[in-house]
Amino acid sequence: MQQVVHDPDRMRALVNEARAAGQRVGFVPTMGALHAGHTSLVAQAARECDRVAVSIFVNPMQFGPQEDFSRYPRTLAADTALLAAHDVDWIYAPEVSDVYPPGDATRIVVGGPAVLFEGERRPGHFDGVATVVCKLFLAVPADTAYFGAKDWQQTLVVKRLVCDLGLPIRIIVCPTMREPDGLAMSSRNAYLSVADRPRAVGLSKSLHRAAGLWSAGADTATIEQAMRETLSAHGVVVDYAALADPESLEPVPDDAARAVALVAGRLGSTRLIDNMELPARVTPQRDTKR
């Protein structure tokens, strides 16, 4: 029987009890408005663990003052109904005041992979992510936590956090689930107008274009320009379109063997992100004799 748990102490006790009985616990943190991307994480957790906890918490600290915190979809009843069809033992749905008690004044600040891209465009976002993830891991002291590659930079930030604080939890990154036309599933896709929805395919198209050029040995500037062109051609207002080192997110040299392509753009008032890890390539020797 699936249980909805609001109290962090109760949640922690349930997980500790299961682990003391020798069960492996998997944890999927979410902000709700669940879709097949989320349930793919749940399915992987259920395959690999004996018990599964899913948290549903719209974390105010990771939204900027001009962002969509107040309009972010909150659909706990529908989410609970959806999870009933999956192997989920506990839905952890704390109140804001449970996560941030009155007078709350503690933040976790991550540098390194948190600095560029989303970190530049959304000041404080990853501090909010790191802080809530740490608090969620304290309330749900699972063996393993599952995150989506959809939020590539977030996975790096969480891995950095876990490593730096020595948190006793294993992080697994799961593949991005997509709509039939290639659009990465996202709770924010619900914001798209009927006219903008088909344009949103520009994000994944730009990543495929990058992958083709990358495999053909193109240099970074050419690939980034092509990504921007593809986004613009679909009416997506480009926020960034770049290749980066898959672990550090630092810029990649033209002869790099590994990279992730990252895009962010706007359609109307909806901001979407996507990424693709590019296949490792052997770069051609450049002719330096001329």
Specify whether 234 is catalytic. no
CB-based burial label for 146 (10 Å; 0-12, 13-18, 19+): buried
Catalytic one of 35, 38, 86, 125: 38
Among 79, 118, 151, 224, binds ligand AMP (CB under 6 A): 151
**Dihedral (C-alpha) 90, 85, 151, 128: value to the nearest 10 degrees?**
-30
Q: Locate 237 and state its tokens.
A: 């207002």
Query: Min. distance of Cβ 80 from ligand AMP in angstroms?
Result: 15
Query: Min. distance of Cβ 53 from ligand AMP in angstroms?
Result: 13
> Which of helix, strand or coil describes residue 23?
coil
Which residue has tokens 């909806």? 270
CA distances from 85 to 38, 43, 124, 280 (A): 13, 11, 36, 38
The verdict on 220 binding ligand AMP (CB under 6 A) reads no
The verdict on 187 binding ligand AMP (CB under 6 A) reads yes
Query: Min. distance of Cβ 238 from ligand AMP in angstroms?
Result: 21
Q: Of the listed pieces 19-27, 95-103, 170-178, 272-280, which binds ligand AMP according to CB under 6 A?
A: 170-178
Residues between 83 and 122 that touch ligand AMP (CB under 6 A): none
Query: Min. distance of Cβ 290 from ligand AMP in angstroms?
Result: 46
Residues between 19 and 58 that touch ligand AMP (CB under 6 A): 30-31, 37-38, 40-41
Q: Of the listed pieces 134-142, 172-180, 217-225, 282-290, which binds ligand AMP according to CB under 6 A?
A: 172-180
The verdict on 145 binding ligand AMP (CB under 6 A) reads no
* Distance between CA atoms of residues 210 and 96, nearest Å: 41
* Distance between CA atoms of residues 56 and 95, nearest Å: 10
Residue from 232, 220, 204 nearest 259 by CA: 220
Task: List interacting residues with ligand AMP (CB under 6 A).
Answer: 30-31, 37-38, 40-41, 147-148, 150-151, 174, 176-177, 184-187
